Structure 1
Amino acid sequence: MEKLRDYAQVVAEARTGKLAFPTSVNAALQLQQALADPDCHVEDAIRKVLAEPVLAARSVALANSAVFTRNGGPQVTSARAAVMRVGYRNLYSLASAMVVRQFGARIGDPQLRAKAEQLWRHCASVAALSHVLGRELTQVDPDTAMFAGIMHEVAGFYLLARADDMPGLLDDPDERMGAIHEILSRELLKKLQVPEPVAAAIASLRGGGMSIPPSGLRDTLLLAKRLAPQRAPLVWCDDAVLGRTAAVDAYLKGNTAIDDILLESNEEAKSMSTALLV
């Protein structure tokens, strides 16, 4: 009965919009809003990046990742140079990564914290792979694909954070938890002002089938999740959305095109993933 009350409380929070955001998330959201302003001057963006040491470090790491140095260029050693190289859209994605990670930062339970770290490694890998797959295979804007990869499991992080306050909340993952995860995902993406095309692609992941050949943002995310070396630690965040069908298995088996893409882009995906994990 107590667990049912916890379930009901979490769902009620989502449906009424009364989601419990830590203070650090609100600070990162303010940074996002500034970067989203079309009138945001580059000097203002640089000041805001410098005011957030973690964002500054990730900006420099991303600017030096293989995806941004594939055509040559000197190593970036300052936040100013990083902002100029990666651009506002990717800075926005990095700010989004800060928002998502902050849900797990306050978790005290060691097991839940370990799951949050594993989930973030999964998201970073999916984001990096989505960027590469969008550019090389599915013809999706790579920056949008990376952003979607970062945001696609925000509900999983939120549930892990709430489980820290509600012991036992995640002890029995089942279809009911999957439904709660879906409700939370929709409301969190709305609260975080994720653009509708991205939110719609994320919302359609669970139980969605991948097209053959894959195309569009949802298929890009599904394929990236399928290929990611780090699995998601929550059952309803992983197997239920991978679109495992005989047709997909047959498409992937011995697919030299995808093998070549992954082989050629391995360094890019690894370096981008590392930058997101800084």
Structure 2
Amino acid sequence: MGDNLQDCLGLVLRFSRELENGDVVFPTSTAVSARLLAALNDPDMHLQQAARIIQTEPLVATRIISLANSAMAAGARQLADVPSALLRVGLNAARVVALLVVTKQLLRAPALHSHKALAAELWQRSAYLAALCRVIAMRMTRVNPDEALYAGLAHNLGQFYLLSRAAEKPEMLEQSKLFAKLLYGYPAIITRPLLTKLQIPTRIIEAVTIQGRAAAIPPQNLYDVVALARLLTPQAGPGSEPAVADAAEFSEIEVIRDCIASAGEDLDGTLRMLHA
């Protein structure tokens, strides 16, 4: 057991060092979408430029048009082109879509076919956390809901990356329980350099990687939104116990629970969009 633990931890640290050195290794199916995501994160990006870039990646383009035509969008007229769709949903939503595509491509990497259960469990938890971020931001703060959703998706991207890279070493994934502990126990050392490489804004990186600081209730900023969503996210999606055992220490946590309970339609709608 000791040797297996050291081997798994060594693998995590190796990937972390590679990321710190700027060496990001994505599956072929993910590389194009990852470059698009990094481009969209440019703070000087404008809608016309973004539309041109998005049209080079059909999967992202299709999803943005679909989002613009969905029930979650305010407009009624059906759209069929990226510039019009982007004008309707905005750049923040486009970044969410690009990050969602990258995450799902990592999830569906061929190397993970024999480890679908672990990948599916991670995705269920990630989607629920991201949806909670959006609902908490929308109902209780002035934080942009799309930015909160983006942060929620970014929260576990390092774990998806680690899982896809670990598939290069099948003997590591065979130690499924041990690897799962490492997957959930050391996310920040992978997530921070990965998000930095993808040019995700510093405020989002800080919100999703800083842990241990108490969240304000009611939430005041993006960090509070992510921290509370993490606290209330079940280990494998709705129906299991919260990931954080000491939820009772938050004397006002029931305020957040009541808010989420009253926002069932918004939560379900966001989850449907993420799982589509």
TM-score, normalized by length of structure 1? 0.78
Q: Which has the higher contact order (CA 8 A, sep 6+)?
A: 1
8 Å contact kept, 1:96–1:151: yes
8 Å contact kept, 1:90–1:143: yes
Aligned to 1:186: 192
Q: Choose from 179, 184, 202 the match for 1:196.
A: 202
After TM superposition, list the pairs within 5 Å mapping 1:114-193 onto structure 2. Answer: 114-166=117-169, 167-169=171-173, 170-172=176-178, 180-193=186-199
Q: Cα RMSD between the aligned structures? A: 3.1
TM-superposition CA deviations, 1:47-94 (whole Å, max 9, x none): 54344333233223432444433xxx3153424342221112210121
Seen in structure 2, the aligned counterparts of structure 1 residues 85 and 174 have a Cα distance that, compared at 3 Å, is: closer
Moved over 6 A (4+): none
Q: Which amino acid aligns with 2:258?
A: D
Q: Choose from 259, 273, 276 the match for 1:275.
A: 273
Aligned to 2:258: 259
Seen in structure 2, the aligned counterparts of structure 1 residues 139 and 258 have a Cα distance that, compared at 3 Å, is: farther
TM-superposition CA deviations, 1:112-131 (whole Å, max 9, x none): 22322332233233223212
8 Å contact kept, 1:3–1:168: no
After TM superposition, list the pairs within 5 Å mapping 1:1-278 onto structure 2. Answer: 1=3, 4-17=6-19, 18-37=23-42, 38=44, 40=46, 42=48, 45-69=50-74, 73-74=75-76, 76-80=78-82, 81-110=84-113, 112-166=115-169, 167-169=171-173, 170-172=176-178, 180-205=186-211, 207-228=212-233, 231=236, 239=243, 242=244, 244-248=246-250, 250-253=251-254, 255=255, 258-260=257-259, 262-263=261-262, 265-278=263-276
Separation in structure 1 between the aligned mates of residue 123 and residue 184 of structure 2, nearest angstrom = 19
TM-superposition CA deviations, 1:20-56 (whole Å, max 9, x none): 22223321122224434535552x5445434433323
Seen in structure 2, the aligned counterparts of structure 1 residues 56 and 230 have a Cα distance that, compared at 3 Å, is: farther
Q: Which amino acid aligns with 2:80?
A: S
**Number of paired residues?**
263
Seen in structure 2, the aligned counterparts of structure 1 residues 20 and 30 have a Cα distance that, compared at 3 Å, is: closer
Separation in structure 2 between the aligned mates of residue 89 and residue 54 of structure 1, nearest angstrom = 17
Instruction: Extract unaligned runs of 5+ from structure 1.
Output: none
Separation in structure 2 between the aligned mates of residue 179 and residue 274 of structure 1, nearest angstrom = 28
**Which is worse superposed, 48-57 or 155-164?**
48-57
Instruction: Extract unaligned runs of 5+ from structure 2.
Output: none
TM-superposition CA deviations, 1:156-193 (whole Å, max 9, x none): 11222233222234431587665543311222122222
Seen in structure 2, the aligned counterparts of structure 1 residues 198 and 252 have a Cα distance that, compared at 3 Å, is: same
TM-score, normalized by length of structure 2? 0.79
Seen in structure 2, the aligned counterparts of structure 1 residues 76 and 115 have a Cα distance that, compared at 3 Å, is: farther
Seen in structure 2, the aligned counterparts of structure 1 residues 260 and 15 have a Cα distance that, compared at 3 Å, is: closer
> How much identity, in percent, do the aligned residues show?
30
8 Å contact kept, 2:32–2:57: no
8 Å contact kept, 1:214–1:220: yes
Separation in structure 2 between the aligned mates of residue 5 and residue 244 of structure 1, nearest angstrom = 31
Separation in structure 2 between the aligned mates of residue 262 and residue 57 of structure 1, nearest angstrom = 32
